[in-house]
Amino acid sequence: YTKRRICVLKGSTVDISCTYVGYYYTTSSFWFRSDKSTAEELSRGPGYSGRVEYTGTYRGPFSLRISDLREEDSAEYRFTFKTDNFEWGHSFPGTTLSVTGLQVKVTPAAEGQKTLTCSTTCTLTDNPNPTYIWYKNGKRLDEPTSQQYSSNTLVVLGHSVDSYSCTVEHHEDLHSPAVCEYELNYCST
């Protein structure tokens, strides 16, 4: 397997690949989740319809592409194949996929200020040190591009004035849920 662990954003697309180096050509092959009781071909599994694509020739490399990732796609994925002489892959460890969403965490700072932190539950494999993009009331802020953002609290008649969300560069279409400044909770809009 090219990578043994992969962490990617919810809603994105992932490629998982492995290479078979050997003399025999494969006669059949498929990808499956190791947490299922039987090795069921992934593309036939519930929830994967239209989101799974296989690539590879008789000798590999073999790739699995899953699009529109969901948190429930987090699992270990394995590849198995048969040749005229043997069957391989059911018992070997595969690639563990973790699917994470972006989240804004709010921490009180100096009086009248809060520190907002854009976070994921695991380090993104394809972007371990991402450039963060912040949005205020749905509009992109030019600065900062760091994981943390400080905001001044402004409350008018008990209603939230500003909402914030974040994303990372190259995944601008995948925003965190918005956080309302007054309630320090997810916005209803």
CATH architecture for segment(s) 102-186: Sandwich (2.60)
178 DSSP assignment: P
Q: Please tell me the least confidently modeled range out of 14-18, 100-104, 143-147, 150-154.
A: 150-154
What one-letter code names the amino acid at 119?
Answer: S
Distance CA 130, CA 133 (A): 9
pLDDT above 90 for 65: yes
Domain 5-99 in this protein, CATH class: mainly beta
- Domain range summary for the chain, segments of one domain joined by +: 5-99, 102-186
Please tell me which residue, 2 or 189, carries the higher pLDDT value: 2
Of these ranges, 25-39, 41-55, 65-79, 80-94, the one predicted with the greatest mean pLDDT is 65-79
For the record, the structure tokens of 126 come out as 């394809």
Q: Work out the average pLDDT over 77-105.
A: 88
